[in-house]
Structure 1
């Protein structure tokens, strides 16, 4: 399980399946940071001055590999100057970190997104089998 997925699950009310205290925006930034942290823990990203720089082989997990590719593209973008900018820009580059992480949980584990979770809703719950 990715760090970003674990963070999402920790941020959700276990009974309602929705973010605690309307924390979706903060959790989204945290999940983008968790993707970068996981790349760093795997030795695939390092901090060079004030920016994250990916290197080495592509990550094994598709979302991590995509995040690494986007970080690499950001090196040429003069608007993305600092690591904090990269974290925020990664959300947009991935088409929404929240949606991608929820989608991964839905695809691989026994959870389901309730109506609208990937289009502005917030819930996620257990799937009955």
Structure 2
């Protein structure tokens, strides 16, 4: 048997609070999604004024980061580099703003943010993950 780490409710709440604080600090109106390593939604919040489509996009970014075990910017770059077949991967949003949650070299989940410029979405996601203390 393999023993592996997993996100607890307290972990998820810390990540969400850190991401929310970063968004509010910058007056960024976003949606924030957190998944486990299988891409299953553990937390979702849509800040006041966040675009409607950000609800779907943030969840897709979180799932993509968890599944791929890499930032979604890397996936966006794969497609941007001409590998259009990668667009056929189902249920994932291949835009910057999704970050994997890596602990001891293992991906235990993903954070996806949507609502502002993609590079700023990624800043929010990383700020949340930083609160995990991993």
Q: TM-score, normalised by structure 2?
A: 0.25
CA radius of gyration, larger in: 1
Pick the structure with more helix per residue.
1
Higher relative contact order (CA 8 A, sep 6+): 2
